[in-house]
């Protein structure tokens, strides 16, 4: 199998019920990039990357497309099933930009699954279950509204609640944490995700004030070093999300005793190939983690779900998808849908998604 054409599409994703409110940013509208690989045997495969704006991480939509333009010409004629060679080729022409490389990596996994007639999860060692748990992000709001949202989602069937915190007083964060914790039943897990917003002082104050509440602190502060300085000073496990920028950092964070778990994003670390390695390192070190992504449509959701389905339940914190905030699906029949806080793996090979390409208009870039 050889890549004979690469198309890149730009697709707007306005946020339903905007804004998606986090500690440091409100999200109103996102810009997704879709990669389409055409192969000499007729196989068509897809990948997607959708940064969460341009301030969540050092990523942005135009950067993704510029990086793809840098790499695409070198990939024509290559075998997409030789995924290690594809990643080596991308690294040989462009340093970094893992969030852009991820779209190519995912498309190559999609192509490989389609060639062999199996789902990506089956290529990753097999699904441990056909129905995968998600988690719900309770956005920045009053303690009362946060508790009401958490209670509603718990009733829907979500096994885990992620409460967005930060960007307000320590007292307000403590009140929201306590209000949400008060409505959660035993067995429904809780994370307080500051999305980098807290100072070390705020993180310590909030954690110590809430030390009776079983939860994890997700990405409390902005930098790896700030979060590392919290070890021994906070009363809760620390999960790194935005700071877990690649496999090497995940290994270091475990080895240095900084991370007790992770919020992992497929695109941030470079795609399914890298997330598979993170999965296995976290399994060996017994560090629970999510398998999500920043944002995106069915292609991003399916990539996260295909990997999430292979994580041992004892080490899995769920797969978040943007579906509730995205209008419509790329694949009307097998698009990834939340159902009572869980998702079903699609039956088809590769990602299991057959997108309606007409939704994306003409490609903004193409190579053949
Ligand atoms: C909840 N998420 C996976 C979705 C948004 O992209 C933010 C992210 C997180 O956990 O930070
Ligand atoms: Mg997070």
> For the segment 50-89, what is each residue's pLDDT rounded down to a tens digit?
999 999 999 999 999 999 999 999 999 999 999 999 999 9
Spell out the domain ranges in the chain: 3-121, 127-344
Query: Residue 147: what pLDDT?
Result: 98
Low-confidence ranges of the chain (pLDDT < 50): none
The owner of tokens 């060679």 is 85
Residues with catalytic function: 164, 265
Cβ of 263 closer than 6 Å to ligand 1, yes or no, is yes
Mutation pick for ligand 1 pocket among 21, 52, 267 (CB with most ligand atoms within 8 Å): 52
The minimum-distance atom of ligand 1 relative to the CA of 293 is: 3
Cβ of 320 closer than 6 Å to ligand 1, yes or no, is yes
Query: Residue 83: what pLDDT?
Result: 98
Compute the distance from residue 243 Cα to the ligand 2 centre, in Å. Answer: 10
The residue contributing the CA closest to ligand 1 atom 7 is 294
Compute the distance from residue 40 Cα to the ligand 1 centre, in Å. Answer: 37
Question: Which of these, 54, 53, 52, 37, lies nearest to 105 by C-alpha position?
Answer: 37
Cβ of 149 closer than 6 Å to ligand 1, yes or no, is no
Q: Which two tokens stand for residue 277?
A: 């390695």
Nearest bound ligand to CA 291?
1
Query: Residue 226: what pLDDT?
Result: 98
Cβ of 310 closer than 6 Å to ligand 1, yes or no, is no
Q: Is domain 3-121 given the CATH code 3.30.390.10 in the classification?
A: yes
Compute the distance from residue 293 Cα to the ligand 1 centre, in Å. Answer: 7
| In the chain, % of residues over pLDDT 90 | 100
pLDDT digits (tens, 9 = 90+) for 116-159: 999 999 999 999 999 999 999 999 999 999 999 999 999 999 99
Nearest bound ligand to CA 241?
2
Compute the distance from residue 317 Cα to the ligand 2 centre, in Å. Answer: 12
Give the CATH fold of the 127-344 domain: TIM Barrel (3.20.20)
The residue contributing the CA closest to ligand 1 atom 8 is 294
- Per DSSP bridges, beta strands 261-262 and 238-240 are parallel
Mutation pick for ligand 1 pocket among 23, 241, 266 (CB with most ligand atoms within 8 Å): 241
Query: Residue 93: what pLDDT?
Result: 98
Query: Residue 193: what pLDDT?
Result: 98
Query: Residue 205: what pLDDT?
Result: 98
The residue contributing the CA closest to ligand 1 atom 4 is 294
Cβ of 48 closer than 6 Å to ligand 1, yes or no, is no
The residue contributing the CA closest to ligand 1 atom 1 is 137
Compute the distance from residue 361 Cα to the ligand 2 centre, in Å. Answer: 32
Cβ of 220 closer than 6 Å to ligand 1, yes or no, is no
Q: What is the model's pTM?
A: 0.98
Cβ of 57 closer than 6 Å to ligand 1, yes or no, is no
């Amino acid at each position: 199998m050889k890549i004979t054409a690469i198309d890149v599409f730009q697709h707007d994703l306005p946020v339903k019920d905007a804004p998606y409110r986090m500690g440091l940013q409100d999200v109103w509208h996102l810009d997704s990039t879709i990669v389409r690989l055409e192969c000499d045997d007729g196989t068509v495969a897809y990948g997607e990357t959708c940064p969460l704006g341009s301030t969540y991480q050092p990523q942005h939509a135009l950067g993704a497309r510029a990086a793809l333009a840098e790499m695409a010409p070198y990939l024509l004629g290559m075998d997409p099933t030789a995924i290690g060679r594809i990643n080596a080729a991308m690294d040989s022409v462009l340093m970094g930009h893992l969030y852009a490389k991820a779209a190519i990596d995912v498309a190559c996994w999609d192509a490989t699954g389609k060639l062999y007639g199996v789902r990506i999860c089956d290529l990753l060692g097999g699904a441990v279950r056909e129905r995968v748990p998600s988690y719900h992000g309770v956005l920045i709001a009053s303690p009362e509204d946060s508790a009401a949202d958490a209670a509603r989602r718990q009733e829907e069937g979500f096994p885990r609640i992620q409460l967005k915190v930060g960007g307000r007083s320590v007292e307000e964060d403590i009140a929201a944490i306590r209000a949400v914790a008060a409505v959660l039943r035993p067995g429904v897990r809780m994370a307080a995700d500051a999305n980098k917003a807290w100072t070390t002082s705020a993180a310590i104050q909030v954690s110590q004030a809430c030390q009776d509440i079983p939860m994890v602190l997700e990405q409390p502060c902005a930098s790896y070093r700030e979060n590392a300085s919290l070890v021994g000073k906070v009363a809760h496990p620390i999960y790194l999300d935005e700071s877990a920028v690649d496999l090497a950092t995940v290994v270091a964070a475990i080895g240095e005793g900084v991370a007790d778990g992770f919020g992992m994003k497929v695109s941030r670390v470079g795609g399914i190939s890298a997330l598979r390695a993170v999965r296995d390192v976290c399994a060996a070190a017994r560090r629970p983690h999510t398998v999500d992504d920043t944002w995106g449509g069915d292609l991003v959701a399916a990539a996260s779900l295909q990997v999430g389905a292979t994580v041992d339940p004892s080490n899995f914190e769920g797969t978040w998808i943007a579906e509730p905030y995205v209008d419509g699906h790329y694949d009307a029949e097998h698009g990834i849908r939340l159902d009572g806080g869980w998702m079903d793996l699609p039956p088809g090979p590769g990602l299991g998604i057959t997108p309606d390409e007409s939704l994306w208009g003409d490609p903004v870039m193409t190579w053949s």
